[in-house]
Amino acid sequence: MIVRHLFPFLLRCCIFSNICDIADAFFSVRYNGSSSSSQTKMFHRRPQPPVSPKIRAKRKQTRRAKTMSFSASAEDEAESENGPRANLLDLLSTCVDAAERGCAAIRRVQEERERRDRAGAPSALAVDYKIDGDPRSAVTAADVSSQAAIVDALTREWPRLTIVGEEDVVAREERSTLEGGEGCLRKDLCYKDDDAAASGVAGKEAALDRIAVFVDPLDGTREFVEGRLENVQILIGITVDGVAVGGAVGLPFPPRRAEEKDRCPASSSVVVYGLVGAGRLGVRGDEGSTAENAAPVRSEGTLLLAAGDTNDRVLADAYRAVSDASPGGCVRVLMGGTGTKILAVAEGRADVAVMNFKSSRWDTCAAEGLLRTVGGRLTDLLGEPLVHRPDIVPPATSYLNDLGAVASAAHAAQVHAGACEAMRRNPAALEKLVGVWGLTEEEAREADAEGVSRVMGQRRKIQTQGLPCVSTPLA
């Protein structure tokens, strides 16, 4: 009985004693001059076992290894931010090599076509059209084989290089069956025997993320289908920050002298190349300079205008503007293919060239690189430089050069400027700025100079947004 009453009493005493101990500990911490949180940590800290010198040394070594690992990661990250760089002369050489491979692919398709023709068999050249009824939109097996050869080789050599090709979708399907992984592309093909040109481009390089390569595997597909083989080209252009700085133009069937026209076709292809700073073009191939083989007869005092066959009213006005801007007038020389026209200017076989409104960046990039190498100039018909960027910036919806293009040699710079100035006052040309680019119909109809200047400034800002060094692409 006594035990039964005594046990609850003792239990209450123990509980009260524990509460008092806790309260004493709490108030001793609260009225100590230190932080309560830190004191609490110290209060509950368990005693640590002693650490031997061997274990202490091992922990120190581990901390040092972690520090070194962090430093290496930071260094790798900095290198990643700067990105790998490419020597532009090396890149150009690989483009020349790739162009030769593309030319070989086109020649194989043509040889098979001719063999079947001689045998009286149906033609094996299948032709598709991107746009129904438009012969300029033709795509053949030669286009696809050429792009597969070029893009696959460049991708293997420069895995992180941005490449924009006209037949990208189809070419990717062809890569698995690509003939001949022919090994590495060569980097010693350009300006080997020209010390002055080589010194002008020596050491020029840029970060790979600022470089893009535009590939037209067969410029002049319509001419290829129709058998006008001398107008067929391969175009591989190099840009830095959207500015064309070099390129390689492959000629699978190079032009020949008049006395050679009736003989067998050219025995090999020719590649013409250039890089800004070299001061002159280079040529690879057995046929010699294409400028010598296809130079037209000039009339003294007149300019040669490379033009296409078209019924477009605006292009007709552009031809007239070039003639009016030239003191001695001009003579039109009919040429097919955007690359053919611009290359003719770069090589001195024409003074000015006017391109239609259906050319794209892969049509103009390589040829502009060659043209700039020799001091020439390429703009749209309103006088604005073309921006060859690898992406499409709205409101643009494609890589199309929607305002056409005009090219000129260095000695025809004033004619170029005068023709573009005239086109800025041409209501029909200004209609191309209505709607998409924000020019009003009234401003176009009245050729409002202030409105045109405003819209062209906005258009330039849109096209160059995000490009860090447009004015100094090789800095």
Residues annotated as binding site for Mg(2+)? 166, 216, 218-219, 363
Cα–Cα distance for residue pair 368/244, rounded to 1 Å: 6
Give the annotated binding-site residues: 166, 216, 218-219, 363
Cα–Cα distance for residue pair 178/143, rounded to 1 Å: 13
Cα–Cα distance for residue pair 356/134, rounded to 1 Å: 14
Residue 208, φ and ψ in degrees, nearest 5: -60, -30
Cα–Cα distance for residue pair 220/446, rounded to 1 Å: 37
Q: What is the DSSP letter of 465?
A: T
Question: What is the distance in angstroms between the CA of the first residue and the CA of the last residue of the chain?
Answer: 103
| Amino acid, res. 400 | L
Spell out the SS3 assignment of 51-119: CCHHHHHHHHHHHHHHHHHHHHHHHHHHHHHHCCEEEHHHHHHHHHHHHHHHHHHHHHHHHHHHHHHHC
3-state secondary structure of 26: helix
Are 199 and 176 in contact by the 8 Å Cβ rule? The answer is: no
